[in-house]
Amino acid sequence: MDKAAGDWNAARQLNRVRKDPNYDGVCFHCQQCVEKYLKARLEEGGIHFPKTHDLIALLSLAVKLEPHGVALQPVLVVLNPYAIAYRYPGFDATKSDATDSLKSCRRIRRTIRVSLGLAV
């Protein structure tokens, strides 16, 4: 949970930068935040998961604990590519991508924190 919180804070801080913004970083940290929250929920539920950055694969395991979580899949599809592809040349996130990533991350973060009985 601490690592997820660190990614959430990093994404929000990077998004506030006006000179030389790092939208790739915002999107990456949003993806990482969600990945860590999903893994925390799986861990809490006693479900073993593979070493993966694939949010859809993690969600498919998490729906065993949270069947309504399937509704999050479209949001995860938005964040999934930021784990790897955008860390390398050839892909560049835009301000719009960063804004969408933060909204998606906020939604999933809230959902999982509520599921874990944590303050939002």
What is the total count of domains within the chain?
1
pLDDT for the residue numbered 87: 82
Residues in CB range of 52: below 8 A, 6 or more apart: 58
Residue 56 lies in a domain: yes
Q: Is the pLDDT of residue 88 over 90?
A: no
Give the domain CATH number at 57: 1.20.120.330
Residue 74 lies in a domain: yes
- Report the candidate in 85, 34, 32 with the shortest Cα–Cα distance to residue 59: 34
pLDDT for the residue numbered 85: 86
Q: Is the pLDDT of residue 82 over 90?
A: yes
- pLDDT (tens digit per residue) in 30-74: 999 999 999 999 999 999 999 999 999 999 999 999 888 899 999
- pLDDT (tens digit per residue) in 6-28: 999 999 999 999 999 999 999 99
Residue 120 lies in a domain: no
Residue 83 lies in a domain: yes
Residue 23 lies in a domain: yes
- Report the candidate in 37, 79, 36 with the shortest Cα–Cα distance to residue 56: 79
Output the pTM of the full model.
0.94
Residue 25 lies in a domain: yes
Residue 102 lies in a domain: yes
Q: Which domain holds residue 24?
A: 2-115
